[in-house]
Structure 1
Amino acid sequence: MRKLIFGMNMSLDGYIAATGDDIGWSGPPSDELFQWWLDQEQANELSLYGRKLWETMSSSWPTGDQQPDATPAQIEFARNWRDTPKVVFSSTIDKVDWNTRLITGDAVAEITRLRAEDGGPMGIGGATLAGAAMRAGLIDEYALVSHPALVGGGTPFFTALDNWVNLNLVETRTFPGGVVLTRYETRR
């Protein structure tokens, strides 16, 4: 069975985007944090995206390695992003590219099927998609990358749940700029 990991940057008050989908509060990541995200992406055999995150990622990473100011880590990230198989869950778009397939039906059923397969870890991103997987009890690991900013509202990292989810802390790490990683595994 595959492991399903939900990790995103978030404000200290728990939002992955401020009102209006603004993510400017997180600023550009430090080299060390960017490398950590690259390592996470390289460990995933499959990436699952909701529509909004897909649109954000696909607007820059397909050609991210061709930008004149791209760092070696950004070049590696762009290449890995293109090469990693991806699944986008959306009922409002009709075409995806770059080693990606589109699912327009029941996201929870498809994630459950993918998770039951043999293989390496899957990363999931996008608040709505991850929230559905969270409510269904499918998330095996949470990686919270907390930035020292309070945004007061917007898109929360966590969704409302019907039941408690008990977690085990597996890692904490501090990055430049006061960014703190906390990783938790779901207690099953």
Structure 2
Amino acid sequence: MRKLIYGMNLTLDGYIAAAGDDLGWSAPSDELFQWWLDQELAIGLLMYGRKLWEEMSSNWPTADQQPGATPAQIEFARNWRDTPKVVFSSTIDKVDWNTRLVTGDAAAEMTRLKAEDGEPMRVAGATLAGAAVRAGLVDEYEIVTHPVLVGGGTPFFTALDSWVKLSLVETRTFPGGVVLTRYATRR
């Protein structure tokens, strides 16, 4: 059985994007970017909702060819292209970059994928991750909190049907007061 990880950058007040899908608050330090790269290199399958897919696919397919791209950005772009991806959406009809589109029941497909053998999977995007959390599929949460309050936007957690008990696995501080808290689901 594969491990399923939900992790993203978020504001101190719990949003992954400010109003208007503004991500201007989330620029990572070199150290944090390297940490995210190290995490992504261990992932065997990325799962995205439509919004995050559109954001990622608008940048990472060619980010390694941009002037001034750092070695870490080049490696992240290459890894992103090479890693298999699944996009869950009923509103788009085409995906590319080593990606498969699923238009049906997201929780059922994530359950099927989790039951396979293989490297860990990452779910990203609040709506899609919310379905995984409610289905009891998430094994680990990587919460990277930035010291900013935005007052609204897209929350990291959507409404839950029941409590999810967690155990703290790791904490780490990054430049600029950014804090990682990593939790494992207690089963």
1:137-164 Cα offsets, whole Å, 9 max, x none, are 1111000000000011111101111111
Match of 1:25 in 2: 25
Task: Note the C-alpha offset of 1:25.
Answer: 1.6
RMSD, aligned CA: 0.6
Distance between the aligned counterparts of 1:153 and 1:137, measured in 2?
27
Q: Check if 1:186 corresponds to 2:185.
A: yes
Give runs of aligned pairs for residues 24-103 of structure 1, distance below 5 A. 24-26=24-26, 28-103=27-102
Query: 1:20, CA displacement in angstroms?
Result: 1.1
**CA separation in 2, counterparts of 1:152 and 1:100?**
34
Letter in 2 for 1:80: N
The CA deviation string for residues 43-94 of structure 1, in whole angstroms up to 9 with x for no partner, is 0000000000000000010001000110000000000000000000000111
Task: Quote the sequence identity (%).
Answer: 82
SS in 2 for 1:62: coil
1:20 is paired with a residue whose SS is: helix
Question: Hey, what does 1:134 align to over in structure 2?
Answer: 133
1:70 and 1:121 map into 2 onto residues whose CA distance is 27
Shift of 1:179: 0.2
- The equivalent residue for 2:4 is 4
What is the rounded CA distance, in whole Å, between the counterparts of 1:21 and 1:64 in structure 2?
21
Structure 1: tracts of 5 or more residues without a match: none
The AA in structure 2 aligned to 1:129 is L
Where do 5+ consecutive residues of structure 2 fail to align? none
Q: Could you tell me how far apart the structure 2 residues matched to 1:97 and 1:160 are?
A: 31
Q: TM-score, normalised by structure 1?
A: 0.98
Q: SS in structure 1 opposite 2:173?
A: strand
1:120 corresponds to which residue? 119
Q: Are positions 1:106 and 2:122 aligned together? A: no
